[in-house]
Amino acid sequence: MTISDETLMAYADGEADAATRASIETAMRDDPEIARRVALHRAMRETMQGAFATVIEEPVPERLIAAARGYARPATATAHSAVADLAGARNAANRKLEGSAARRWQPAALAACLLLGLSTGYLTWHGSGTLIEAKADGLIAGAALADALSSQLSNDRSAGLVAVTGLSFRNKAGAYCRTFLLSADAAWGLACRDRTRWKINALAQAANDTNNANFRTAESALPAPIRAAVEALIEGEPLDQNAEVAARRAGWATTTAH
Amino acid sequence: MSTNEGLENIQEQIVALLPRLRRFARNLVRNPHDADDVVQIAVERALLRQDQWRSDARLDSWLFKILRNAWIDEVRSRGRQAKIFMPEEHGEHVGEASMEREIDRWTAETALTRLPEDQRLAVSLVLIEGLSYKDAAEVLEVPIGTLTSRLARGREALQGMLRLPEGDVS
């Protein structure tokens, strides 16, 4: 009985139908040569299964996880840039801080701004677990960031703060919103009060120098995506210090239109 | 299931598949960084087109197909043909030693790199990724007969390079 090698291969791969399977199994019993050829196909299958096995063991780059969750910038634009994701941008920003005293915006810094759509999914923000938390309806400020947003005034530049608050304003619904800079991450964000939480509306990575002298002038250093988000939400003027103190005293509770 | 849950669900399923997508990409593009770029492009496309995924179809096959197409587009658009999957020099060692039972992974990979692209992808999808012939044929957008013959030729060539212990193919 002659059986083509492709048929034996399909059998070894579990692709043969029941009738073919039965006839091959009969043939294997009768003809050691056929049994040997099937064994060869199976051995090949086993051997190739191990190929590139180390890739499976490797940690998956953060930028790919971010892309799968819908948070990455298009790969086509960033394929070989040093800043491919938030973690990368943060590292780049840190390297910049260490290696350079340059404090002005670079074109690359603008390109590194990353506005995140926050309606679904969540962000794994490594090393900052208490700053950003994922909830079913989006991102909210974690305990440390919420504390900063609720308690700090915008002129607070004390050392060791996890976040510096920038601009405070009311949105069109009367809720308070504040911009902030995560000190460790060189990331800017915008959060609005949502009942007792601070909901994150936007986050942007700024790969510029973030020393204290710079973020005193919060408005000018605000990354374009955050500035755009502020402009889209703001109703009236930003709060002055007295208004901030009053809002803080009221627990940043939503106020009716003034 | 709400739309939101469906969305998060597919995203997390894609995250879970990333190791395999990366592995398949290494069969397309040798340079690991370039391979990951192709994975990223594919994943972004997949999210944009997730409404095209039929939930009765295997997500992995669907993603492999997007990945392969992303790679083809990349090769075309970047003119990176020359960089794509150059066989490695250490291929000379193949077949020198007696391979016995343990044919190491490195040798299998090296042998794989020496296959023509059509055969390499068929072998990769069926033998490494474990796709059925039907699913692999769909990924490669060829009839199942074409897939089968590519796979058979690829195996035969690998057999010649690897010299599996059972002896020569008759």
Residues of A in contact with B126 (CB under 8 A): 13
- pTM (two decimals): 0.52
Residues of B in contact with A15 (CB under 8 A): 132-133
Q: Are A64 and B47 inside 8 Å of each other by CB?
A: no
Q: Is A197 helix (H, G, I), strand (E, B) or coil?
A: strand
Q: Are B166 and A63 inside 8 Å of each other by CB?
A: no
Domain residues of chain A, as ranges?
A: 5-54, 83-249
**Dist CA A164 CA B128 (whole Å):** 50
Same domain, B73 and B95: no
Question: How is residue B149 written in tokens?
Answer: 């013959």
Same domain, B150 and B80: no
Same domain, B134 and B54: no
**Dist CA B158 CA B116 (whole Å):** 11
How many Cβ atoms from other residues are within 10 Å of residue A55's Cβ?
20
What is the residue range of B107's domain?
Answer: 88-170
Total structural domains within chain B:
2
Of B36, B66, B86, the domain-final residue: B86
Same domain, B101 and B141: yes
Per-residue pLDDT of chain A (258 residues; tens, 9 = 90+): 588 999 999 999 999 999 999 999 999 999 999 999 999 999 899 888 878 888 888 899 988 998 898 875 444 433 333 223 334 444 444 443 333 333 333 332 222 233 333 322 234 343 444 677 777 777 888 888 888 899 888 877 776 777 888 889 999 888 999 998 877 666 788 999 998 899 988 887 654 444 433 443 444 467 777 887 888 888 888 888 888 888 998 899 886 544
Q: Are A131 and A219 in contact (CB under 8 A)?
A: no
**Dist CA B133 CA B122 (whole Å):** 9
Kindly tell me the burial class for residue A256, based on how many C-beta atoms sit within 10 Å of its own C-beta (0-12, 13-18, 19 or more): exposed
Residues in a beta bridge with A169: A177
Q: Could you say which of B15, B41, B148 has the minimum Cβ distance to residue A68?
A: B15
Same domain, B76 and B100: no
**Dist CA A177 CA A190 (whole Å):** 7
Same domain, B135 and B148: yes
Residue A208, phi then psi, degrees to nearest 5: -95, 175
Question: How is residue B61 written in tokens?
Answer: 């096959």
Same domain, B130 and B102: yes
Q: Give A160's DSSP letter.
A: T
Q: Are A51 and B41 inside 8 Å of each other by CB?
A: no
Instruction: Count Cα atoms within 13 angstroms, Cβ side, for B119.
Output: 17
Q: How do A132-135 and A138-141 pair as beta strands?
A: antiparallel
Q: Give 3-state DSSP helix, strand, coil % of chain A, rounded to 5.
A: 45, 15, 40
Same domain, B109 and B145: yes
Q: Are B91 and B109 in contact (CB under 8 A)?
A: no
Same domain, B81 and B30: yes
Of B86, B117, B147, the domain-final residue: B86
Residue A52, amino acid: F
